[in-house]
Structure formats: C-alpha cells, structure tokens
C-alpha cells in the first residue's frame, strides 16, 4: 500500500512507533486509525486507567441511586400500611448508600495506583517496559468496570 504523503509531497514520518523486545507495534496509517484494533491498541494506558476509575465511580453512584429509589419507594408504601416499621427499615437504604461509598473508596485506591512518568517527554527510553505499562492501564480499567457494573447490579 502507498504511504500517506505529507504537506510538501514527502513521506510522512510514522509517529506511533513503539517497539519492545519481543514484538513491534507500528501504525499502518499516519494517525494510527487504520482499524479498530490499531486505534484501541494505541490509546494511552493512562486513558484506560482513568476511564476505568470514572466508570467504576459513576456506575457505583448510579447503582446506589437506583437501589435507594427502589427501597425508598417500597418503604414509603410499607409505612402507609404499618407506620411502626418506618424507622426499622432504613437499614436497607443505608446498605444502598454503602455501594456508592464503596465506589468512592475504589476510585481513591485506584487513583493512588496511577503514577506520572519520571521523565516527561514525547518519547520513552529504549528499555521501556511496554507490556507492564499497557497491562497496568488495562488492569485498572477492568477493575473499575467490574466494580461499577457489580454495584449497578447490586443496586
């Protein structure tokens, strides 16, 4: 396939070249958008980590809100028929709030796992551990998504 041409007719340099000791990650297009696999594999692991934290916190709050809505409306209906059980059934609302608190705790713990690189710049060292870098981003993403969807289900 023909390479993309720059503004002056010369070949554009490839920007997204990342190499490891076992495998080479290169872009087939100038902006790394040849297909979904190339696009998703070249997104920064910091994005995946922060997106997992946001999904975990957001869905935990949504799950807690849904649970409070369900149990609160049920408690109001039950309090109409039997007013003496009004304060006894508030425990179920407190349990629903606990899922939101769990999401906040997860976000705090996962945010402390993200560290800035020691050397700032657009390139990494030759011996950069790309496998651990991408695994860390995907691990935090999956942790946040699993906790978020679990809290939606429990709500």
pLDDT in tens, 45-63: 889 999 999 999 999 999 9
Predicted confidence (pLDDT) per residue in 4-17, tens digit: 444 444 444 444 44
Residues of the chain falling short of pLDDT 70: 1-26, 32, 86
Separation CA 15–CA 74 (nearest Å): 58
């Amino acid at each position: 396939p023909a390479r993309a041409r720059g503004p002056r007719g010369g070949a554009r340099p490839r920007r997204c070249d990342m190499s490891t000791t076992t495998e080479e990650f290169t872009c087939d297009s100038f902006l790394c958008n040849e297909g979904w696999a190339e696009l998703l594999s070249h997104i920064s692991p910091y994005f995946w980590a922060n997106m997992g934290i946001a999904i975990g916190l957001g869905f935990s709050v949504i799950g807690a809100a849904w649970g409070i809505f369900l149990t609160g409306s049920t408690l109001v209906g039950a309090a109409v028929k039997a007013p003496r059980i009004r304060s006894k059934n508030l425990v179920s609302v407190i349990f629903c709030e606990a899922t939101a608190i769990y999401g906040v705790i997860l976000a705090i713990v996962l945010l402390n796992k993200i560290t800035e690189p020691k050397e700032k710049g657009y390139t990494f060292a030759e011996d950069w551990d790309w496998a651990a870098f991408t695994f860390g981003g995907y691990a935090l993403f999956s942790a946040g998504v699993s906790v978020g969807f679990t809290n939606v289900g429990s709500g």
